[in-house]
């Protein structure tokens, strides 16, 4: 948001109880990412309503402000490659991506009250062949953790990406063009 010169605050909304962002039976990666972005938006709006009488440090939580949420999903066919659970999982995910082209879907939702506006960015990312030694070295950098698909395009993994068709910022997790368009639509 700073990059596109939009004043903002970051809210640390508690995660929903239970499994983190479960995939519904038969749900496509595209439907999944759109639903999870909406769910985050709904949870944030609900949480803000509960915080209206909160401490002075949360006084910025005016229920009339817009909330922006996003979710990013890495998909190899119908397989969603989420955040790795551990080093072995990260190595498995990167081995699957090696020499393949996958899709990165990022859904964003701009919400205020009951008003929801959304956009979607889909990018095609091609990885060159990555040796097991390179995968081991990359995973040991700790960059894989906390990232869908076990990689960050903005970091060391960039040297494995042979082609990108789409939005660099969308692959990072917030497609700035689509975000700016949603904000423009509401006069921000």
42, 62, 71, 136: the active-site residue:
71
CA distance 91 to 120: 28
Best CA proximity match to 172, nearest among 140, 135, 143: 143
Residue 71 annotated in active site: yes
Side by side, which strands form the sheet with 79-80?
79-80, 67-76, 101-112, 115-127, 161-165
CA distance 120 to 175: 8
Residues marked active site are found at 71
């Amino acid at each position: 948001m700073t990059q596109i010169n939009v004043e903002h605050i970051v809210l640390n909304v508690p995660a929903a109880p239970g499994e983190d962002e479960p995939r519904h039976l038969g749900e496509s990666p595209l439907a999944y990412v759109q639903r999870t972005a909406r769910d985050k938006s709904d949870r944030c709006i609900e949480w803000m309503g509960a915080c209206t009488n909160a401490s002075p440090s949360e006084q910025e939580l005016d229920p009339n402000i817009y909330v922006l949420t996003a979710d990013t999903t890495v998909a190899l066919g119908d397989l969603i490659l989420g955040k790795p659970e551990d080093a072995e999982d990260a190595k498995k995910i990167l081995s699957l991506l090696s020499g393949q082209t996958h899709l990165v879907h990022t859904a964003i939702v701009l919400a205020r009250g009951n008003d929801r506006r959304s956009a979607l960015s889909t990018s095609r990312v091609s990885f060159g062949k990555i040796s097991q030694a390179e995968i081991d070295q990359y995973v040991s950098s700790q960059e894989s953790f906390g990232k869908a698909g076990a990689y960050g395009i903005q970091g060391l993994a960039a040297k494995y990406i042979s082609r990108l068709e789409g939005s660099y910022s969308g692959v990072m997790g917030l497609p700035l063009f689509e975000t700016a368009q949603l904000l423009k639509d509401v006069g921000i």
